[in-house]
Chain A
């Protein structure tokens, strides 16, 4: 059954994120087909990684947009079910799409089964709980998204699973490919708004139902991609403006978050900070909540005090196995790890650092090398950052390039270049893994 569902992910200028996702998927679902629609400017460095992890790549034009990229996935995936996720998710054993596929096979009216996302921001964890009913009121020109938790639960028992009906779920869902023959994403939207638009279409122009399966879970951990990605690409608001106009809406109310309106700065909610009711408490207080229904999922005890602890505890059946690579650098052969570097894209505040193991040290034995940090200096050796925070490194290989997003220090006045050195703590001292130079032209 796992081979009937294909992971379908769009990535854009965050190779470090999609690599982390794929590592986590392969760790738990080694044979699941994976399709990546990559709309990054530079994808050549990812080719070996994709190949080594059996990823089928759909190369998209730069900034083709989320909607066009998802449509490309829909057109290319050969399996009957798409497992749609974002590139900054992390999978664990509870991310298994098998139960969702069982539900889709047993309930012919259901087209989408969404799962539960745990948002991690620093040491803070919240359950997103963005499962909505959509109400389009053409007379009042309003769209209202009401969390399903504001209603008595519309539950169904499907075999051993309990699901809850909704109109829209997060982009962590298994979709029956058949529905994508009639409902697709609107390619005039690059980002923001495409999600609501898709589910409105599904509700108003199809017979397919949407369900929420809280026992299918994953982590959403936003990875900072630099100012260019965050502000110029991710933060664009044209999509919101477009869907308000397309659906002839003046106001878009998301209960618990606030209201967007035409001409009122559609990129921001006007009231109520996001997350007010997103801590899972509402769900757990519902009669017939899933913890009581399905039992022994461990989800209710799935709490963390720190990010590290969550990382270590995510895989409850194999503690420490899932996300350890976030904090550790994999070296081999017992020799000092050596990293090769390739120039990466850089913005004023972030650098994508590409690295791989030196081939001389590729071997079967492994040694964990923690505390990888960067030292930044001016060209003449003046320290800018003596020891950076740990960087999120991935399991490395000599066969493919891994990517990390590294904060760049404040560029000192009058400097044409700054330099960095990657350092690992060997336990008995620092080991230099490699050096690099950043020119002002890059920054």
Chain B
């Protein structure tokens, strides 16, 4: 397996799906909130399914050499939300006040997105820290944003659940999205 040395655990988790040739496979149906790669999930209302495939990347310029795959997910069901959720580590967010986010993807249609960091507060509760809202065109898209966010407190090791980077996609219609690469780190 090719290790993907991301700056943050968020990047390492998504890189795990994009850097391992052994993970390639045809379209498979997935249920919500089930790992499609370690620490990476799709979120939508229960009763629906999405399909994913991991294949060899078509355009070598879209991601580093260590990323040999591209991940495609498609959702055409009925859900009030559709998310891509990537688990990270508390250490990445320790007293962070700024973020750097990069998403390299190709959606099947123009799609409005919102990126948040979800911080678990206990067993059930959580709070969201807004990072950015943006629109991706229907084609190869590179979204990069450097920004400030509400300053976070120091780590919460007592909370078992990890923080998550969540990308919300609008639910205006069926969406197929090819994810080429993602960067997310904090300082």
Contact = CB atoms under 8 A, between A and B. Distances in A.
Interface of A: 349, 378, 382-389, 407-413, 429-430
Contacts of B62: 386-387
A384 B104 contact: no
Q: Is the interface of A mostly helix, strand, loop or mixed?
A: loop
B146 A387 contact: no
A410 B142 contact: no
Contacts of B104: 386-387
B144 interface: yes
B187 A384 contact: no
Given A349-B146, A410-B146, A429-B61, A382 B5 contact: yes
Contacts of A408: 146
Given A385-B144, A386-B63, A387-B142, A413 B5 contact: no
A411 B183 contact: no
**For A387, A388, A411, which residue has the most chain B Cβ atoms within 10 angstroms?**
A387
B102 interface: yes
B44 interface: no
B64 interface: yes
B51 interface: no
Interface of B: 5-7, 61-64, 98-100, 102, 104, 142, 144, 146, 181, 183, 185-187
Nearest to B183: A383
A384 B7 contact: yes
A382 B6 contact: yes
Nearest to B94: A413
A385 B5 CA distance: 15
29 contacts: A378-B7, A382-B5, A382-B6, A382-B7, A383-B64, A383-B183, A384-B100, A384-B183, A385-B100, A385-B102, A385-B183, A386-B63, A386-B64, A386-B181, A387-B61, A387-B62, A387-B104, A387-B144, A388-B142, A389-B142, A389-B144, A407-B146, A409-B100, A409-B144, A410-B98, A410-B185, A410-B187, A412-B7, A430-B61
B45 to A, nearest CB: 33
Contacts of A410: 98-100, 146, 185-187
A386 B7 contact: no
Smallest CB-CB A-B distances: 5 pairs: A410-B100, A387-B142, A410-B146, A413-B187, A430-B61
Given A382-B7, A388-B144, A410-B100, 9 more contacts: A349-B146, A382-B5, A383-B64, A383-B102, A384-B7, A385-B102, A386-B63, A387-B62, A388-B142
B48 to A, nearest CB: 32
A50 B104 CA distance: 40
A410 B144 CA distance: 11
A382 B12 CA distance: 12
Contacts of B7: 378, 382, 384, 412
A383 B14 CA distance: 14
**For A349, A384, A411, A429, which residue has the most chain B Cβ atoms within 10 angstroms?**
A384
A382 B7 CA distance: 7
Contacts of B100: 384-385, 409-410
A407 B100 CA distance: 12
A365 B102 CA distance: 37
B18 to A, nearest CB: 12
Contacts of A383: 64, 102, 183
Contact of A386 (B5, B99, B102, B185): B102
A386 B11 CA distance: 13
**For B5, B6, B63, B102, which residue has the most chain A Cβ atoms within 10 angstroms?**
B102
A409 B101 CA distance: 10
Contacts of B146: 349, 407-410
A385 B142 CA distance: 10
Contacts of B183: 383-386
A387 B187 CA distance: 20
A388 to B, nearest CB: 6
A215 B5 CA distance: 58
B187 A412 contact: yes
A413 B99 CA distance: 11
A428 to B, nearest CB: 11
Contacts of A411: 187
Contacts of A413: 187
B90 to A, nearest CB: 14
B59 to A, nearest CB: 10
A408 B146 CA distance: 9
A430 B64 CA distance: 13
A430 B98 CA distance: 30
A407 B183 CA distance: 16
Contacts of A385: 100, 102, 144, 183
Contacts of B187: 410-413
A408 B100 CA distance: 10
B185 A412 contact: yes
A408 B185 CA distance: 14
A410 B185 CA distance: 8
A423 to B, nearest CB: 8
Nearest to B180: A386
B134 to A, nearest CB: 12
A429 B60 CA distance: 9
